[in-house]
Amino acid sequence: MYVIGTSGHVDHGKSTLVKALTNIDPDRLPEEKEREMTIDLGFAWMTLPSGREVSIVDVPGHERFIKNMLAGVGAIDLALLIVAADESVMPQTREHVAILDLLQIGRCIVVVTKSDLVDAELVELVKAEVEDTLAGTAFQGCPMLAVSSLTGAGIEELKAAIDGILDQTPARRDLGRPRLPVDRCFSVSGFGTVVTGTLIDGSLEVGQEVELAPSGLTCRVRGLQSHQSKIDRTGPGVRLAVNLSGASRDDIQRGEILTTPGWLRATQRVDARLRMVRNAPHALHHNEGVTFHLFSSETPARVRLLEVEQLPAGTTGWVQILLENPVPMVKGDFFILRSAEDTLGGGQVVDPNPRRRHRRHDPAVIEQMKTLDQGTGEDILVSLADQSGYCDLSALSRRANLPLAEVRQRVGQLAAAGDMVALGDLESEADAVVYSRGGWARLKDQIHSTLTAHHRQFPLRVGMPAQELRSRLSLPQPVYLRVLARAAQEGLVTEEGQFLRLPSHQVALTPALERLVAEYLRALAQDPYSPPTDLPLDPELLGVLVDQGKVVKVNESVVFTAVAYREIADKVVAHLKANGRITVAEARTMFNTSRKYILPLLEHLDQQRVTRRMGDERVLR
């Protein structure tokens, strides 16, 4: 199914033409009927000669209601540009043409209305003026038909022309991620809250859980209607009325996106390619305030020009747009920028969620944006992965606005070619992640430099605690485990229990330190069950002895030789096997030592899960 949108100057007969085509009056508000002027969006539908059913969105033509016009034309497949034969091209004709061209609607039929009021020669003059207006736009050379909505002249020819163009219009892509920009919200007695809009991607079905972005409100589809007919399920390209349960009319605003939960994120920073309209009233200056329109949403914004100080009329440039309010969008969406009175320009979203505020006049930034805008699917995926560090396939699919199956296939090819590094099985493991080749190289450099600095600072330690390295790398635990496994596989790191080191790192004592260690061990061995606690030894050096298994540190002051510790532990275990229980006093007597030594040793055995304390006694675990 396709959606057609009207456009053109006020009083040029848009709503009258829709009524002539469909027998439906799109003006629904009492004020519209009283003033005989469209104020807000109107809706109708018809069946074409081919049997194809289409929806029609009728938009207001008055300059004061341009934001309502913008809310209606962002999701149409074909534009009907309405020009009255008795007035010809007018200011809103030109502005609507500029908007449709910026939104890259692509398909248009010029309808010269009120042809019954003028002679044929004047109709041809109007067509010539429209041709001049469309020169240089995407609509140059589009079909033109003269009609009279009052007499019916040309109406059937117009229907046939619409049919012909839609025959050549591809259906909307279905990426499996439904998006319905809300253009109306109201309550129906006995049913509750209803929203309407055009489903521009994915599918919706009755009973489905949905979410409104950016508010995050979750609810359920209670019912679906298209053209006042109930349906259970539908794909993209359809005008829908969606009855929602779990949502109040007051909770929902025009501009929100109805979608499935968890994937569509609102943003307040957008990278884009901006094109100024040919007749813009003034150049756009860096950091200028504008109004940003995307589908049915609008918000104040500021435009950061990344290459120049100003963009004159008719030129293009790379920009980063800072939005005052968050707006949900995806790569490839089209938007319009307006001042208080005029349409200044518009463009296409290159990156809906850039990681940072870009430096201006930076060639690398511009090159990156060009790749995202004009590159192949592989180029785009590599560039996005390069910006993101690690990235799972679902996130890549969202950011590139490509189907997940296509992303999986392309990433597999890139990994095989060495342009990406896959951590995990991309086919079977949902939490597998990928790095770009450059991103993986940077991560390895960071791991190497971090461990090198640690070894330099602590040469007597076996390595860095594994979780400390994870913290330094700022990686989630599941990703870190995959990174660690790959780094070990590539010979970058060696695991030593809970520690990590570079393969080249070995703890080596100087002759002087070896002598100091020997003296320390002899002193401990002289009274093995009551070793001295006042022997000065550098904590790092003591750590080496612990790592080497030569001593056991049971608390901050008591250290036993490993031999003495094993003797005590073995005798305690043997006693427990024979007697079932042991007290501190019994253990103290057994080794002819003091409570100062035996209590921390028994507590250490508790910590090692050899024994368990029960009141004043210990038992075997």
Concatenate the DSSP letters of all residues of 513-530 into one string. HHHHHHHHHHHHHHSTTS
What is the C-alpha separation between 37 and 32, in angstroms, rounded?
Answer: 5
Q: Based on the domain organization, do 128 and 157 belong to the same domain? A: yes
Residue 173 maps to a domain: no
Same domain, 10 and 146: yes
- pLDDT class of 34 with cuts at 50, 70, 90: low
Query: In this structure, is residue 370 part of a structural domain?
Result: no
Point out the domain boundary residue: 232, 259, 286: 259
Residue 582 covered by a domain: yes
Pick 538 or 357 by higher pLDDT.
357
- The 10s digit of each residue's pLDDT in 298-332 is 999 999 999 999 999 999 999 999 999 999 999 99
Predicted local distance difference test score (pLDDT) of residue 526: 92
Q: Percent of the chain having pLDDT more than 70?
A: 98
Q: Are residues 456 and 399 in the same domain?
A: yes
- pLDDT tens digit sequence for 193-236: 999 999 999 999 999 999 999 999 999 999 999 998 999 999 99
The total of structural domains in the chain comes to: 5
Please give the pLDDT value at position 106.
82
Choose among 97, 102, 117, 84: nearest CA to 14: 84
Q: List the domain range (segments joined by +) for residue 193.
A: 179-259
Residue for token digits 């999986």?
Answer: 408
- HEC assignment per residue over 127-160: HHHHHHHHCCCCCCCCCEEECCCCCCCCHHHHHH
Domain CATH code at residue 594:
1.10.10.10
Predicted local confidence at residue 40, as pLDDT: 78
Residue 218 and residue 215: Cα distance in Å, rounded?
Answer: 9
Q: Are residues 427 and 545 in the same domain?
A: no
The H helix count followed by the E strand count for the chain is 18, 34
* Dihedral angle over CA of 223, 200, 107, 144, nearest 10: 20
Determine the pLDDT at residue 60.
78
Last residue of a domain, one of 450, 479, 508: 508
Residues 262-289: pLDDT tens digits? 889 899 999 999 999 998 999 999 999 9
DSSP codes joined into one string, 45-100:
EEE-TTS-EEEEEE---SGGGHHHHHHHHTT-SEEEEEEETTT-S-HHHHHHHHHH
What are 131's two structure tokens? 């041709």
Has residue 133 got a pLDDT over 80?
yes
pLDDT reading at 108 higher than 90: yes
pTM, rounded to two decimals: 0.78
Same domain, 559 and 596: yes
Share of the chain above pLDDT 90, in %: 67
Residue 201's closest CA among 240, 164, 227? 240
Predicted confidence (pLDDT) at residue 344 exceeds the cutoff of 90: yes
**504 and 518 both lie in a single domain:** no
Under the banding of pLDDT at 50, 70 and 90, the label for residue 63 is: low
Are 6 and 101 in a shared domain? yes
**Does one domain contain both 159 and 95?**
yes
Is residue 430 predicted with pLDDT exceeding 90? no
Q: Whole-angstrom Cα distance, residue 347 to residue 294?
A: 10
Which H or E run includes 320? strand 316-328
- Residue 32 scores a pLDDT above 80: no
Helix axes 377-388, 437-457, angle to 10 degrees: 20
- Note the pLDDT of residue 546: 85
Q: What's the pLDDT tens digit per position in 381-417? A: 999 988 888 999 988 888 888 888 889 999 999 999 9
Whether residue 18 is found in the same domain as residue 133: yes
The overall average pLDDT reported for the chain is 91
- Asked whether residue 566 is assigned to any structural domain, the reply reads yes
Among 157-161, 270-274, 383-387, 562-566, the range scoring the smallest mean pLDDT is 383-387
87, 128, 147, 556 from 122: Cα distances, Å: 10, 10, 13, 101
In a domain, 174, yes or no: no
pLDDT in the model for residue 323: 97
Instruction: Please say if the pLDDT value at position 69 is more than 90.
Output: no
Can you say whether the dihedral through the CA atoms of 104, 334, 371, 280 is positive or negative? Answer: positive
**pLDDT mean over 166-173:** 88
Using the 8-state DSSP alphabet, how is residue 359 labeled? P
Tokens 């968050």, residue?
Answer: 326
Distance CA 196, CA 183 (A): 6
pLDDT tens column, 598-616 = 999 999 999 999 999 998 8
Bond preceding residue 214 cis, omega within 30 of 0: yes
Do both 15 and 160 map to the same domain? yes
Residues 8 and 101 in one domain: yes
pLDDT tens sequence across 434-492: 999 999 999 999 999 999 999 998 888 889 999 999 999 999 999 999 999 999 999 99
CATH code at position 274: 2.40.30.10
Contact (CB, 8 A) for 257 and 180: yes
pLDDT at 156: 94
Classify residue 478: in a domain, yes or no.
Answer: yes
Burial of 16 (0-12, 13-18, 19+ CB in 10 A): buried
Residues ≥6 apart with Cβ < 8 Å to 80: 4, 5, 6, 7, 14, 17, 108, 109, 111
In a shared domain, residues 109 and 198:
no
Q: What is the CA radius of gyration of the chain?
A: 36
Whole-number pLDDT of residue 515? 87
Residue given tokens 């040919």 in the structure block: 278
Q: How confident is the model at residue 65 (pLDDT cuts 50, 70, 90)?
A: low
Last residue of some domain: 259, 286, 309?
A: 259
Q: In sequence order, what DSSP letters do the residues of 190-231 get, joined into one string?
A: TTEEEEEEEE-BS-EETT-EEEEETTTEEEEEEEEEETTEEE
